[in-house]
């Protein structure tokens, strides 16, 4: 590793050690720097370094009127392309800027500047942004509803604003934001009472907070109850949890309109599962993970997570009413099966064969960057196969996976067989001994990942004995 690479490695290790409170301070200061100069490369670069942790830590970002506007629906945001058909329960990020520009025109720059000034006066991350939101969101709700009502009545006006928003699908997302704004205070109150995204488990207090929201929305604008479902599903680790959450809410006597929302809840849940698959597909197609040493291993884990969600969803959708939704989940499952087959199973043995053909060079130079990357690719392949073996049976891929593993095992056995024969025939000089041991260890490691420790150890012991016997003094 070069000195520069080593320093970068150490720097990134240091960044991961910065306590969260300090990280929050640093992000705050860097964003402040960017307020004056949006192209500040130092600030941008450092914020980029922090990005992985920011996604997790989610520190209070420097607030602006636009960020405050987005706050109640930020969990629902998606990166889906503008032209994609409207996705229920999701709002495209692309609609934020045009929607905000329209709103600033309607509400007036003076009022927005006034809100910006109050945000600055409040300083860093107050306990809650609700009081300021209560001032902004109702104004947004009013103006957006005016626009939507006018657009629904006046074709010419609709034709005028639709392109401004980015197209007909974006207009539908704009309508969704208008709905959220009407109950923004209730939604934000619920968000502040719940754990951060992704929610894995909910306590009784959390269920109470959801129940309170359901009751409050029912009482004030019952027609907006579906927004509660959208906001909740978007926050869950497994969208299929939503059905059991509503059961728990009902047990507290706070079901409200959720009982009448069964079909929409199912629709949102299934759509969310489909969208999560689409994100996986987009990531593979975009090649964002190419070169990442754990790309296939990560994919295998992600698919495992989605399959658990689907299994849970199917369990809850048993019976006639849920049949259509269950079929949609099955379709997602079939798509996941194709992804597993194409990216984890197929061609694994071919990739391994390539490396085995060159293992003498690769194993003895394993400290070099290029070589370790190739060995890591093999590891990634084999670990992904191991992980996929856990669910291959459920996906109907048992045979494909076992056949591929068998092919890999045969290749490794064939390679070690030839290696041992060669040792017996030619023997080893003391100088070659180190290289031979490295090659043996690399093959044994691969064999262990495919066939298990017992067989691998047997090969190791046999190989080491052979190396001892055949080394000429």
- Interface residues with another protein (CB under 8 A) are 1, 13-14, 16-22, 52-53, 56-57, 195-196, 198, 200-201, 237, 293, 297, 301, 363, 366-367, 372, 375-376, 379, 383, 386-387, 437-438, 441-442, 444-445, 448, 453, 456-457, 460
Q: Minimum distance from CB of 257 to another protein (Å)?
A: 30
| Shortest Å, Cβ 72 to another protein | 21
User: What tokens appear for 10 in the block?
Assistant: 């150490």
Alpha carbon distances (Å) from 286 to 152, 279, 292, 348 = 37, 10, 13, 21
Q: Which is nearer to another protein, 52 or 131 (CB)?
A: 52
Comparison of 363 and 416: residue with beta carbon closer to another protein: 363
Nearer to another protein, 20 or 403 (CB): 20
Q: Which is nearer to another protein, 33 or 445 (CB)?
A: 445
Report the candidate in 373, 454, 378 with the shortest Cα–Cα distance to residue 415: 378
CB of 43 to another protein, least distance (A): 21
Q: Which of 181, 267, 251, 183 minimizes the C-alpha distance to 217?
A: 183
Q: Which residues lie across from 428 on neighbouring strands?
A: 471
Q: How far is the CB of 411 from another protein (least distance, A)?
A: 18
CB of 3 vs another protein, minimal distance in Å: 12
Which residue, 81 or 434, is less far from another protein as judged by CB?
434
Give min distance, CB of 184 to another protein, in A.
Answer: 23
Least Cα distance to 193 among 223, 218, 228 occurs for 228
Minimum distance from CB of 362 to another protein (Å)? 9
Task: Quickly list DSSP for 285-348.
Answer: HHTTTTT-TTHHHHHHHHHHHHHHHHHHHHHHT-SGGGHHHHHHHHHHHHHHHHHHIIIIITTH
Distance CA 252, CA 216 (A): 15
**DSSP 3-state of 92:** strand
Pairing mode, if any, of strands 91-92 and 77-78?
A: parallel
- Compute the least distance from the CB of residue 207 to another protein, in Å: 16
* Beta carbon of residue 376, minimum distance to another protein (angstroms, whole number): 5
Find, among 400, 402, 347, 417, the residue nearest to 378 by Cα: 347
Q: Of 274 and 437, which has the nearer Cβ to another protein?
A: 437
**Nearest alpha carbon to residue 388 among 374, 378, 398:** 398
| Interior angle at CA 204, CA 202 and CA 208, nearest 5 | 100
Taking the least distance from each CB to another protein, the nearer of 51 and 153 is 51
Q: Rank residues 115 and 345 by Cβ distance to another protein and give the closer one.
A: 345
Preceding peptide of 182 cis, ω within 30°? no
State the nearest-atom distance from the C-beta of 382 to another protein, in Å. 9
CA distance 352 to 374: 10
Q: Which residues of 412-439 are buried (b: 16+ CB within 10 A; e: fewer)?
A: bbebbeebbeebeeeebeeebeeebbbb
- Closest alpha carbon to 332 in 385, 272, 384: 272
Q: CB nearer to another protein: give 19 or 287.
A: 19
Nearer to another protein, 223 or 366 (CB): 366
Q: Which residues pair with 236 in a beta bridge?
A: 199
């Amino acid at each position: 590793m070069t000195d520069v690479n080593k320093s970068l490695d150490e720097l990134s290790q240091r960044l991961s050690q910065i306590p969260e409170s300090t990280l929050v301070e640093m992000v705050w200061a860097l964003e402040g720097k960017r307020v004056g100069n949006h192209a500040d490369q130092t600030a941008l670069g450092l914020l980029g370094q922090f990005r992985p942790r920011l996604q997790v830590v989610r520190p209070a970002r420097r607030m602006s009127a636009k960020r405050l506007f987005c706050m109640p629906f930020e969990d629902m945001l998606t990166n889906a392309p503008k032209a994609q058909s409207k996705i229920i329960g999701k709002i495209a990020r692309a609609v934020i800027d045009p929607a905000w520009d329209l709103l600033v025109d309607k509400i007036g720059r003076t009022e927005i500047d006034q809100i910006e000034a109050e945000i600055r006066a409040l300083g860093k991350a107050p306990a809650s942004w609700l009081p300021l939101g209560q001032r902004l969101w109702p104004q947004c709700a009013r103006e957006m509803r005016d626009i939507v009502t006018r657009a629904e009545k006046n074709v010419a006006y609709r034709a005028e604003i639709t392109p401004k928003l980015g197209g007909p699908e974006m207009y539908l997302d704009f309508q969704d934001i208008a709905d959220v704004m009407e109950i923004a205070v209730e939604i934000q109150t619920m968000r502040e009472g719940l754990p951060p995204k992704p929610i894995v488990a909910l306590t009784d207090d959390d269920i109470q907070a959801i129940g309170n929201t359901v009751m409050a929305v029912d009482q004030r604008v019952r027609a907006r109850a579906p927004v509660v479902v959208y906001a909740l599903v978007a926050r869950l680790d497994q969208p299929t949890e939503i059905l059991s959450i509503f059961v728990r809410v009902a047990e507290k006597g706070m079901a409200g309109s959720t009982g009448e929302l069964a079909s929409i809840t199912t629709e949102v849940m299934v759509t969310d599962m489909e969208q999560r698959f689409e994100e996986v597909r987009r990531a593979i197609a975009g090649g964002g993970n190419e070169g990442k040493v754990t790309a296939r291993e990560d994919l295998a884990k992600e698919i495992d997570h989605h399959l658990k969600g689907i299994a849970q969803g199917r369990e809850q959708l048993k019976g006639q009413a849920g049949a259509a939704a269950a079929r949609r989940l099955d379709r997602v499952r079939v798509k996941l099966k194709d992804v597993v087959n194409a990216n984890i199973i197929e061609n694994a043995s071919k990739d391994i064969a390539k490396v085995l053909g060159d293992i003498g060079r690769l194993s003895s130079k394993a400290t070099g960057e290029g070589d370790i990357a190739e060995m890591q690719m093999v590891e990634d392949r084999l670990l992904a196969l191991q992980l996929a073996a856990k669910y291959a049976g459920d996906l109907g891929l048992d045979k494909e996976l076992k056949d591929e593993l068998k092919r890999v095992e045969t290749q490794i056995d064939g390679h070690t067989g030839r290696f041992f024969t060669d040792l017996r025939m030619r023997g080893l000089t003391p100088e070659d001994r180190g290289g031979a041991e490295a090659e043996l260890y690399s093959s044994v490691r691969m064999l262990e990942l495919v066939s298990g420790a017992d067989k691998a150890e047997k090969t190791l012991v046999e190989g080491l004995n052979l190396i001892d016997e055949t080394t000429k003094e």
